Structure 1
Amino acid sequence: MNAPIDKPRFRPVPWTPLETPQDVELWIEEHNMAMQELISPKETGYGVRFTLAPGGEVVMQTGADAVILDVEPDAEWIAPLIIAATGAEAPKGRIWVLPSDKLVQLIMGLSSLVDSTTLVSGHKFGTRARNVLY
């Protein structure tokens, strides 16, 4: 007898490249509304997972003061793009803490490389990220 397979809570959404800052702002607004509807205020580690077409994943969480990126090892190749898009310095680890005013530039830079996005909850962003956001 086979055990039932749990369906994933959130499913990947195919990405449509964003061409203007206004497109990015609309995408941000739509994702914020979706997270408010689908994720409980008691949940932590929520954000958006970007699956990159060339390979790898980046998980992003936003707060009032910062954008937190968890660049998974298979996506380390994206670091020069993050630096170019935001002017940030590369961190020593895989957790990037960027000023919140760099969000639009970051997403514009990533847009042509994204295959899909998935909402996430319970992601471990690391101690430094949690200290910045809470």
Structure 2
Amino acid sequence: MHDSDDLPQDQPIERPWIVLNNTYDVEAWIDSYNRDLQRAMTKPNARGYGICFRLVHGGEVYLHTDPEGSILLDVTPEAEWVSPLLTAATGIDQPPSQIWVLPGHTLTQLILGLSTLIATTRIVVSHEFRTKRF
């Protein structure tokens, strides 16, 4: 699972997504993701780290957490079509910008809601948010 050791540090590994069907699957994925992210954060110049979800119908959603435990989502313009689902899954209204700030307790619902729409994922270590918050 950790084939990243064989590739140059600046080359992202895109992994196919396996649909998660229940909260147990999501929590197991979160645990695995956290381990992979901790390894990636040890690399030099790591900032703006998290995960990128490439969606099956176009666009990307970047997920990061801040030190307070909030979830930051950067929904690219090509992925705006997923906004109603994000609202339904988390109970948070769509913000006026492409940056969503969600409470940490919504992570499981968010991943479960997005699961069937994700094509691939990759760890990111230097994503620049278009906001002064991050």
Please confirm whether the aligned pair reaches a TM-score higher than 0.5, indicating the same fold. yes
Q: Report the equivalent of 1:13.
A: 15
On the 8 A contact 1:97/1:129 being kept in 2, the answer is: no
Q: Report the equivalent of 1:32.
A: 34
Q: What displacement does 1:89 show?
A: 1.1
On the 8 A contact 1:13/1:117 being kept in 2, the answer is: yes
Partner amino acid for 2:81? W
- In 1, distance between residues paired with 2:105 and 2:130? 21
On the 8 A contact 2:40/2:123 being kept in 1, the answer is: no
Q: What number of residue pairs does the alignment pair up? A: 125
Q: Report the equivalent of 1:111.
A: 115
Q: TM-score, normalised by structure 1?
A: 0.86
Question: SS of the residue aligned with 1:10?
Answer: coil
Q: Pick from 97, 100, 106 the counterpart of residue 101 of structure 2.
A: 97
**Would you identify which runs of 4 or more consecutive aligned residues in structure 1 move more than 6 Å?**
none
On the 8 A contact 2:52/2:61 being kept in 1, the answer is: yes
Q: Pick from 113, 119, 125 the counterpart of residue 121 of structure 1.
A: 125
Larger radius of gyration: 1
Q: Report the equivalent of 1:44.
A: 47
On the 8 A contact 1:21/1:104 being kept in 2, the answer is: yes
Q: Report the equivalent of 1:60.
A: 63
Identity of aligned residues (%): 42
Question: SS of the residue aligned with 2:74?
Answer: strand
Q: CA RMSD of the aligned region, Å? A: 1.7
- Unmatched tracts of structure 2, length 5 or more: 1-7
My pick for the range that moved more, 59-68 or 35-44, is 35-44
Q: TM-score, normalised by structure 2?
A: 0.86
